Amino acid sequence: MIGRLNHVAIAVPDLAAASAMYRDVLGAEVSEPLPLPGHGVTVVFVGLPNTKIELLQPLGDASPIAPFLARNPSGGMHHVCYEVDDILAARDRLKAGGARVLGDGEPKLGAHDKPVLFLHPKDFTGTLIELEQA
Amino acid sequence: MIGRLNHVAIAVPDLAAASAMYRDVLGAEVSEPLPLPGHGVTVVFVGLPNTKIELLQPLGDASPIAPFLARNPSGGMHHVCYEVDDILAARDRLKAGGARVLGDGEPKLGAHDKPVLFLHPKDFTGTLIELEQA
């Protein structure tokens, strides 16, 4: 069911510093910061030949990554995103398998303007998983 | 400098359960468990079209992932591995950039029998990074 690893998201307290580190020290291609007020984050995309890393900094008062950064002030890996062909079929299969889908279970438009769902980390070995319709 | 994302490593307390979850619930292709006593882990490879996930369970008394699981009993994302063409050149560039390489700074043979280095999470926004010579 799951397809490509779309991205690994890393929450960071200082996007400029993280971006410079990936660009200058690790020698990767990084995008300009892209504010996504509807998602409560500003994102920098780190392009790799086979996937991408997304560096996320909280934006606004109710950022979904603020609690994670409060627990992990230096930042850290926040979630992985797997692509699926049919997000409703994926959701139904997951629920039938006993996995919990976060929120009301209805896909929302994610940061790439594609339907996404998040799965409960407790059902997936402590890992927050995003599913994105490819 | 960094190339492909070689893998995302997820530390898990129960490899059989994690493997079944990736196979049966997420519908991914998973390998048989591979004990790597020299690395203190048993690994299951989850194959994705563009990269892989490595599920790691401690093996033996001095597993390098045991402290992480003591802090995160449900498991969690442990590290990301980026490929580099020349690990010694990468190390020297990283050190010149002020990043700390773990251990004595000399590449060791990693779980894929290729030279690897680990970078200090505090220098990389809380993320443990493995570099592997491609």
How does pLDDT run across B62-81, given as a tens digit for each residue?
999 999 999 999 999 999 99
8 A C-beta contact, residue B90 and residue B101: no
What pLDDT is stored for residue A111 in this prediction? Answer: 86
B98 at the A interface (CB within 8 A)? yes
Residue in B1, B25, B121 nearest the CB of A26: B1
Convert the pLDDT of each residue in A12-61 to its tens digit: 999 999 999 999 999 999 999 999 999 999 999 999 999 999 999 999 98
- Can you list the domains of chain B with their CATH numbers? 5-133 (3.10.180.10)
A100 at the B interface (CB within 8 A)? no
What pLDDT is stored for residue A59 in this prediction? Answer: 97
How far apart are the C-alpha atoms of B48 and B133, rounded to whole Å? 21
Pairing status of strand A115-119 against strand A129-133: antiparallel
8 A C-beta contact, residue A11 and residue A68: yes
Convert the pLDDT of each residue in A67-122 to its tens digit: 999 999 999 999 999 999 999 999 999 999 899 999 999 999 988 899 999 999 99
Is the torsion defined by CA of A69, A82, B10, B54 positive or negative? negative
> Which stretches in chain B have pLDDT values below 70?
none
Mutation target for B interface from A25, A69, A82, A95: give the one with most B CBs within 10 A: A25
Residues of chain B with pLDDT > 70, as a percent, come to 100
What pLDDT is stored for residue B101 in this prediction? Answer: 95
Known catalytic residues of B?
A: 130
DSSP tag of A101: B
Which chain B residue's Cα is nearest to A123?
A: B21
How far apart are the C-alpha atoms of A73 and A45, rounded to whole Å? 21
Structure tokens belonging to residue A54: 């997304």
What pLDDT is stored for residue A58 in this prediction? Answer: 98
DSSP string, B49-115: SS-EEEEEEE-STT-TTHHHHHH-TT-EEEEEEEEES-HHHHHHHHHHTTPPBSTTS--EE-TTSSE
Q: How many CB atoms lie within 10 A of CB B20?
A: 12
What pLDDT is stored for residue B111 in this prediction? Answer: 86
Known catalytic residues of A?
A: 130
What pLDDT is stored for residue B61 in this prediction? Answer: 87
Q: Do B72 and A13 touch (CB under 8 A)?
A: no
B37 at the A interface (CB within 8 A)? no
In DSSP terms, which residues pair with B18 in a beta bridge? none
Q: Which residues of A touch B97 (CB under 8 A)?
A: 24-25
B72 at the A interface (CB within 8 A)? yes
